């Protein structure tokens, strides 16, 4: 028991450094519970409600589009997650093996902004949820409670996050299924099955939404699989992540569709959940609040790792301690609370809109393309870990122009096709209402990077080769 405690402390003692093989622990099924529980939350439910309220699909076509989108997008998050046991390092640190030591900084910077944006939006959402459950608690105090709770979980780290989500899988999964049963056990409106219909733009927009939703998790998926034993291989982490992420998000998106269809047309999504589930509604609201806090810990954890990765780029010999993670978490907490408490609701919505509309799609799609092509087709899991932490980048250098060129071209080609609330490209309405810029980004970045990278492949001296066979 003492040996286990020493190897697996409650408070995580690693940050962005390599996890030694002797300290690896856990099972592939831990990835299922993490990504399933993470996706049983208000945000995916509200997003699913858009299928009816914004895209005007009916139940059948809406659910079909949801399933297809998440099943396609889930491949990306699962492939990213399966890299963790092989590499034993966080996803953003691994990007040095593709972009070079300094070249990876741009990706890390954008990723940190995305994490912080999500953290702010979730502490505001948690604060409003607490006030909704307990009206006597002021919104500012509620926001602080939600922020402090998420920070505590994020500071404790990897092991505690997995433990909470193992519990959350059973609790949240059972609650959501109970909600489905309650709705269908009572009379539904006459237009429940007929409200909406099929339209190509709405259907494609829903499919795209599912794909983008899954891709958005890819920058930090291997952060939560890097402690798994190296000999676990590729297939088991892939399958566990894929099933957890797709099943959880499909259920939540579909629940949003069912809830709004079970209430009068035009009812706001979360109000529809409370109304459609009757006496079960207040219980669901409390559980959703707890899930928001738990999920937000992932955003803080990712933001801290990204910032530490950026700092360590210029201090290769520095190994951050637990204290560093605590201090950075506290600073991020303070800054985010100031923004959440001091800014107007309109500013918050615009800031989050920027994160979602521009950074998430335009920035992450080219990165994910390069990451997966490099890991699975070019280096085939063989990376020189010592070079990744070397001050000069080792065999990967300070800058990898092949990846940087492919990344910027992959970003630029998306702009004419982008269809967001903040920017609409000249070719955005090829399919009205559907943002297909991500598809253009994938179609250009993948073959471009493969062609550039295979022109000259540096030898990976001392490489880690796990999970592949020649």
pLDDT at 63: 97
Q: How confident is the model at residue 463 (pLDDT cuts 50, 70, 90)?
A: low
Question: What is the percentage of the chain residues whose pLDDT exceeds 70?
Answer: 89
Q: How confident is the model at residue 461 (pLDDT cuts 50, 70, 90)?
A: very low
pLDDT tens across 379-390, in order?
998 999 999 999
pLDDT at 259: 95
* In-domain check, residue 74: yes
* In-domain check, residue 130: yes
Please check the confidence at residue 354 and state whether its pLDDT lies above 60: no
- Work out the number of other CB atoms within 10 angstroms of the CB of residue 195: 16
Compute the distance between CA of residue 82 and CA of residue 85 in angstroms, rounded to an integer: 7
Work out the mean pLDDT of the chain and round it to a whole number: 85
Please check the confidence at residue 237 and state whether its pLDDT lies above 90: yes
Mean pLDDT, residues 129-134:
81
pLDDT at 453: 92
pLDDT tens across 46-104, in order?
889 999 998 999 999 999 999 999 999 999 999 999 999 999 999 989 999 999 999 99
pLDDT at 469: 39
CA–centroid distance for 204 within its chain? 21
Mean pLDDT, residues 197-213:
91
Token pair listed for 288: 């959703």
Mean pLDDT, residues 324-351:
75
Mean pLDDT, residues 254-263:
95
Q: How confident is the model at residue 323 (pLDDT cuts 50, 70, 90)?
A: confident
Please check the confidence at residue 319 and state whether its pLDDT lies above 70: yes
Compute the distance between CA of residue 55 and CA of residue 434 in angstroms, rounded to an integer: 9
pLDDT at 36: 94
Q: How confident is the model at residue 134 (pLDDT cuts 50, 70, 90)?
A: confident
Tally of domains in the chain: 1
* In-domain check, residue 296: yes
Please check the confidence at residue 462 and state whether its pLDDT lies above 50: no
pLDDT at 429: 76
Mean pLDDT, residues 6-35:
81
pLDDT at 143: 85
* In-domain check, residue 342: yes
DSSP string for residues in 379-435: STTEE-HHHHTSTT-GGG-S--HHHHHHHHHHHHTTGGG-B-SS-B-TTGGGSTT--
Please check the confidence at residue 458 and state whether its pLDDT lies above 70: no
pLDDT at 48: 92
pLDDT at 217: 87
pLDDT at 5: 41
Mean pLDDT, residues 293-316:
86
* In-domain check, residue 2: no
List, in sequence order, every residue forming a beta bridge with 325; answer none if it has no partner: none
List, in sequence order, every residue forming a beta bridge with 464; answer none if it has no partner: 383
For the ranges 23-32, 79-88, 209-218, 419-428, the lowest mean pLDDT is seen at: 419-428
* CATH code of the domain containing 187: 1.10.4160.10
Higher-pLDDT residue of 159, 196 = 196
Q: How confident is the model at residue 150 (pLDDT cuts 50, 70, 90)?
A: confident
3-state secondary structure of 197: strand
* In-domain check, residue 71: yes
* In-domain check, residue 155: yes
* In-domain check, residue 1: no
Mean pLDDT, residues 247-272:
93
pLDDT at 418: 80
Q: How confident is the model at residue 2 (pLDDT cuts 50, 70, 90)?
A: very low
Mean pLDDT, residues 308-327:
83
Token pair listed for 186: 């009572």
Please check the confidence at residue 433 and state whether its pLDDT lies above 80: no
For the ranges 71-80, 117-126, 177-186, 187-196, the lowest mean pLDDT is seen at: 117-126
Higher-pLDDT residue of 182, 42 = 182
Compute the distance between CA of residue 177 and CA of residue 181 in angstroms, rounded to an integer: 6
Mean pLDDT, residues 292-311:
87
- Work out the number of other CB atoms within 10 angstroms of the CB of residue 422: 11
Compute the distance between CA of residue 28 and CA of residue 25 in angstroms, rounded to an integer: 10
What's the domain range around 339? 31-363
Please check the confidence at residue 360 and state whether its pLDDT lies above 70: no
């Amino acid at each position: 028991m003492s040996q286990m405690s020493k190897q697996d402390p409650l408070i995580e003692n690693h940050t962005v450094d390599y996890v030694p093989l002797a300290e690896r622990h856990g099972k592939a099924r831990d990835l299922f519970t993490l990504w399933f529980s993470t996706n049983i939350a208000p945000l995916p439910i509200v997003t699913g409600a858009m299928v009816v309220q914004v895209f005007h699909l009916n139940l059948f076509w809406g659910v079909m589009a949801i399933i297809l989108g998440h099943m396609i997008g889930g491949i990306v998050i699962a492939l990213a997650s399966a890299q963790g046991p092989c590499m034993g390092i966080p996803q953003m640190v691994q990007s040095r093996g593709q972009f070079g030591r300094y070249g990876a900084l741009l990706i890390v910077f954008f990723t940190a902004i995305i994490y912080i944006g999500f953290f702010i939006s979730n502490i505001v959402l948690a604060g409003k949820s607490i006030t909704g459950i307990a009206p006597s608690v002021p919104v500012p105090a509620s926001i602080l409670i939600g922020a402090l709770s998420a920070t505590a979980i994020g500071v404790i780290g990897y092991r505690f996050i997995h433990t909470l989500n193992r519990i959350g899988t059973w609790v949240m999964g059972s609650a959501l299924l109970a909600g489905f049963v309650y709705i269908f056990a009572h009379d539904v409106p006459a237009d429940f099955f007929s409200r909406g219909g099929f339209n190509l733009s709405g259907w494609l927009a829903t499919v795209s939404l599912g794909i983008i939703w899954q891709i958005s998790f890819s920058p930090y998926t291997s952060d939560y699989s890097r402690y798994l034993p190296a000999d676990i291989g590729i297939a088991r982490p892939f399958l566990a992540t894929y099933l957890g992420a797709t099943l959880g998000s499909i259920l939540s998106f579909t629940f949003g569709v069912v809830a709004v269809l079970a209430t009068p047309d035009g009812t706001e999504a979360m109000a529809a959940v409370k109304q459609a589930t009757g006496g079960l509604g207040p219980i669901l609201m409390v559980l959703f609040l707890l899930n928001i806090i738990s999920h937000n810990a992932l955003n803080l954890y990712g933001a801290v790792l990204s910032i530490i990765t950026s700092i360590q780029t210029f201090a290769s010999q520095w190994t951050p301690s637990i204290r560093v993670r605590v201090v950075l978490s506290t600073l991020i907490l303070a800054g985010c609370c100031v923004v959440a408490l001091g800014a107007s609701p309109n500013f918050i919505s615009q800031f989050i809109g920027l994160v979602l509309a521009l950074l998430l799609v335009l920035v992450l799609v080219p990165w994910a393309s390069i990451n997966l092509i490099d890991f699975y087709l070019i280096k085939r899991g063989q990376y020189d870990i010592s070079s990744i932490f070397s001050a000069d980048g080792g065999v990967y250098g300070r800058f990898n122009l092949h990846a940087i060129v492919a990344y910027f071209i992959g970003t630029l080609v998306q702009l004419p096709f982008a269809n967001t609330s903040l920017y609409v490209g000249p070719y955005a309405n090829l399919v009205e209402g559907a943002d297909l810029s991500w598809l253009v980004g994938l179609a250009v970045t993948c073959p471009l990077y493969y062609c550039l990278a295979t022109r000259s492949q540096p030898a990976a001296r001392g490489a880690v080769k796990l999970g592949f066979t020649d």
